[in-house]
Structure 1
Amino acid sequence: MPTPIWNEWFQIHSYQTDFRSKATIQTLCRFLQETAGNHARDLGFSVESLQQQGLTWMLSRFHVQIERYPAWQERVRVETWPAQAIGFYGIRDFFYFDEQDRLLAKASSIWLIIELARKTPIRLPDNILGVHKTDRPRAIDDRFDTLWRPSQGQIEKRFDVRHSDIDLNQHVNNVSYVEWAVETISDDLWRSAELTELEVSFRAEALTGDTIISQSEQTADNDRQTVLHRVLRASDKLELFLARTRWREQS
């Protein structure tokens, strides 16, 4: 029988950590992708089964709030479930727990099903809409409002799309955009603060051979620093990705 709430354990390896020996935000995002895909397979609508119909899942938005980053050698349990479905949009939520069932992080995400040939979204099929019904409270009660763009790129870097950035849908994997965004954080902020919140909006896809421009603008937000991010394709300045990160000073 399909599992309505999916649980999966992960070990934090050394190559998934930063200079503080804690899991990186990219690692937490990869756990989100992995558990979402595995649960969809268990429910009967995996990427592989959709591709046979000329369709695939596409991650459109996600929002992560971190209470504590797990450290090297810790084990993490990720819990995920389909939270809601409306027309074209399926909302999937997540909790991250340590081995003592203490909350590490929580996340919410929006997924679309798109036609591979035309790259356009379709309404969610009835069998998927039927699964997206639960009385469970949302992990993050997010309306996914529009993210602001940087008014000016205080920090700007260029990256070439690598072969290792390409996923099974033949475009850049979602986590690569997060990596490009975080790379534009100033050295002072990166060493003195910890990322506590990440909001992401995917706008268009990047492909092999593209060069991308990652821009960021840092602003003060009470006791936290907020950074607005944008990723563009260098050749035509097409906007690929928007994000907002919030950072808390470390003692």
Structure 2
Amino acid sequence: MYKFTSRVRFSETARDNKLAIPHLISYFQDCSNFHSNSIGLYKDKLLGMKRAWFLSSWQIVINRRPDIDEEIEVETRAYEIKGFYGLRNFIMYDANKEVCAYANSIWFYVDTTKGKPIKYEKEGIGFEIDEEFPMEKADRKIIIPNDLEKIIQADVLRVRESHLDSNCHMNNREYVRIALDFLPESLELDKIRQIRVEYKKAAVLNETMIPVYYFDEGNNRIFVLLDNETGENFAKVEFELR
């Protein structure tokens, strides 16, 4: 288990003065990196071993988004490793220890030389296994119902330097940011209760991406396909509304 405290900054807020959803995801990502670094699993060490962890899916539940200047605590728990999969929870608390948001995430361990998943080598580089955070877990895969019509196809965008992280891939947060950018302006962010993301292919510099939206009004869900111009899928995003 690893925790760190912070305070919601102006630069992290949306126009309603609450923590923006992409920055909420950044807090979870940062907590994971802090945890790895605290036990000596620095990125350079893993790369030297020709190993890396890649995110396969998110399930993020938002009870409320903290306000600007609010004190928060972020926690992560690596609760299971099986084969080449690693499972990790994230929790964001307010100053009263009330849960603002929580998440389940699934990662896979990769041999970077072969570009393929490999069974995790626990000896000498293992995480402590923590207690799993109690939550109702969704499936890793996102299935878009066949009867939904394509409602919006946004303009083609190109992957820019600002989208990338130090892996030279689009940061996992950015897929959600892009999906959020083309939602109807009338949709209040506080109506988003849950976000699921299934990652399929890492987008790199200068690749093109086309967000396509499907609305499931009966179940209060919005699905977003992030594809390239040939239909190859980078990621699927699902927003569940309150």
Q: How far is 1:84 from its partner?
A: 0.8
- Report the 3-state secondary structure (helix = DSSP H, G, I; strand = E; otherwise coil) of the residue aligned with 1:77: strand
- Report the 3-state secondary structure (helix = DSSP H, G, I; strand = E; otherwise coil) of the residue aligned with 1:35: helix
| Letter matched to residue 146 of structure 1 | K
- Out of 206, 218, 221, the position equivalent to 2:215 is 218
Indicate the residue corresponding to 1:245 in structure 2. 239
TM-score (ref. length: structure 1):
0.88
Q: Is the 8 A contact 2:92 2:102 kept in 1?
A: yes
Q: How far is 1:213 from its partner?
A: 0.5
Indicate the residue corresponding to 1:156 in structure 2. 153
Indicate the residue corresponding to 1:25 in structure 2. 21
- Out of 73, 82, 88, the position equivalent to 1:86 is 82
2: CA distance between counterparts of 1:129 and 1:216?
Answer: 41
Indicate the residue corresponding to 2:107 in structure 1. 111
Q: How far is 1:115 from its partner?
A: 2.5
Q: Is the 8 A contact 2:63 2:99 kept in 1?
A: yes
Name structure 1 gaps, 5 residues minimum: none
Q: Is the 8 A contact 2:140 2:198 kept in 1?
A: no
Q: Is the 8 A contact 2:74 2:90 kept in 1?
A: yes
Q: Is the 8 A contact 2:78 2:86 kept in 1?
A: yes
Q: How far is 1:11 from its partner?
A: 1.7
- 5 Å-filtered alignment, 1:1-251, equals 5-127=1-123, 131=127, 133-134=129-130, 136-142=131-137, 144-149=139-144, 151-157=148-154, 158-190=156-188, 194-221=191-218, 225-234=220-229, 236-248=230-242
1: CA distance between counterparts of 2:138 and 2:20?
Answer: 26
2: CA distance between counterparts of 1:65 and 1:15?
Answer: 22
1: CA distance between counterparts of 2:137 and 2:217?
Answer: 22
TM-superposition CA deviations, 1:193-220 (whole Å, max 9, x none): 5211101110001110111011111122
Q: Is the 8 A contact 1:149 1:229 kept in 2?
A: no
Q: How far is 1:112 from its partner?
A: 1.5
Q: How far is 1:118 from its partner?
A: 3.2
Q: Is the 8 A contact 1:216 1:230 kept in 2?
A: yes
Q: How far is 1:102 from its partner?
A: 1.2
- Report the 3-state secondary structure (helix = DSSP H, G, I; strand = E; otherwise coil) of the residue aligned with 2:217: strand
For the aligned residues, what is the CA RMSD? Answer: 1.9
Q: How far is 1:139 from its partner?
A: 4.1
Identity of aligned residues (%): 22
Q: How far is 1:130 from its partner?
A: 5.1
| Letter matched to residue 178 of structure 1 | V
2: CA distance between counterparts of 1:45 and 1:133?
Answer: 15
| Letter matched to residue 94 of structure 1 | F
Q: How far is 1:145 from its partner?
A: 4.0
